[in-house]
Homo-oligomer: A and B are copies of this chain.
Amino acid sequence: MVYDAIYMPLNEVQKDVDEWARQFKSPYWKPHEILARLMEETGELAREVNHMHGPKKKKSTEETKKLSDEIGDIIFTLCCLANSHNINLDEAWKMVMDKCYGRDNERFDKK
């Protein structure tokens, strides 16, 4: 993978959030409030994971749909936190990929 500095997918996602948030008088909540929301959303994701893969194991298209929705909500919340701190998520992503192909790349057994 060659990560192209010009191609910036997460910036697009952040802009979607910002465009929506800028309609309001107070576009973003305070950092701790966004964090609490993140906690709430990850809690809902956890419930779905337990529904699908936990004691009762209900695997269905509908369950996967709920999981997908919860992941979407978490990404939204992360974009709010990033936008309210002027964080560029494509730079964050570049760091993640650098870590993957650098520091962490020998941690697991390759094929």
Contact = CB atoms under 8 A, between A and B. Distances in A.
Main secondary structure of the interface of A (DSSP, over half): helix
Interface residues of A, number: 69
B42 A39 contact: yes
Interface string A96-111: 1100110001001111
How many copies of this chain sit in the oligomeric assembly? 4
Contacts of A97: 16, 20
Contacts of A78: 71, 74-75
A20, A52, A68, A89 interface centre (most CB from chain B within 10 Å)? A68
A74 to B, nearest CB: 6
A20 B96 CA distance: 11
